Amino acid sequence: MTKKWLASTWPLPALLVWLLAWMIFAGLARLLPWWLALLVAGSFSTAASLCGPNWWRRLIIAAGFPLSFLVLSASQLPAWGWLLPLGLLLLIYPLNAWRDAPVFPTPFNALKGLAEIVQLPVQALVLDAGCGMGDGLRALRSALPQARLHGLEWSWPLAIACALRCPWARVRRGDIWLADWSGYQLVYLFQRPESMGRAAVKAATEMQPGSWLVSLDFQLPGVEATACLQGNSRHKVWIYAMPLDGAQRG
């Protein structure tokens, strides 16, 4: 399994490792002391996690089996009980969203100074693509107080929570890759490295000349940034003016 496949099919690799670890534990527990079966199954999940494409996915792969074992041991749930928290997680963060980015909040001051670079007109439309709980929208409101802010989030629970936290923004549930970006003067992203090529193609194809794409931490591949903000937090803010130079149009 390549890291590219692991990234594109996430969270299937984690689910498979957890399932195999439980099968190893259940099979060995009939032949060996339970603690030795647990050690072998835990070692398998830890070794399998090394194939993860980044640190947080490796952590999820490695921790899934031992955490589920602890939950079952403490709660005396039936064998299928460990699926309950997984079901709750999938409700909050559905499979489609796992292929984009985890819910990492945008630091409040990360976008400070953005207005001096992008210089948007009053009441410009700004989209937080993948707004999560609304931290990105709050940072955008602080940096661009005259803009009209929209948020788009695939997860129903997160979209509802974001709308409650950000009543001054228009928040709706939807797929950021299917949504039309052409009507926005600025699109803000906090995605992951594997998504940035797709973002570059979408921006180059849909966004109008004079608009802006802003990405926290991750650069567009093969595209030189117009500017980079840094120093407000440990994050870098990459700023791209449209049209993009070097991005392949879809």
Per-residue pLDDT tens for 89-147?
555 555 555 555 556 789 999 999 999 999 899 999 999 999 988 999 999 999 999 99
**Helix pair angle (55-75, 12-28), 10° resolution:** 40
| H/E element, 114 | helix 114-118
Distance CA 113, CA 66 (A): 44
φ, ψ dihedrals at 172, nearest 5°: -140, 160
pTM beyond cutoff 0.75: no
Q: How many CB atoms lie within 10 A of CB 35?
A: 9
Tell me if 102 sits within 8 A of 10, measured CB to CB. no
Q: Which of 70-74, 84-88, 203-207 has the highest mean pLDDT?
A: 203-207
Per-residue confidence band for 6, with pLDDT thresholds at 50, 70 and 90: low
Pick among 3.40.50.300, 1.10.630.10, 3.40.50.150, 3.30.420.40: CATH of 114-242: 3.40.50.150
Share of the chain above pLDDT 70, in %: 80
Q: Where in the chain is the domain with CATH 3.40.50.150?
A: 114-242
Query: Helix or strand or coil: residue 25?
Result: helix
Q: Which of 25-34, 62-71, 148-157 has the lowest mean pLDDT?
A: 62-71
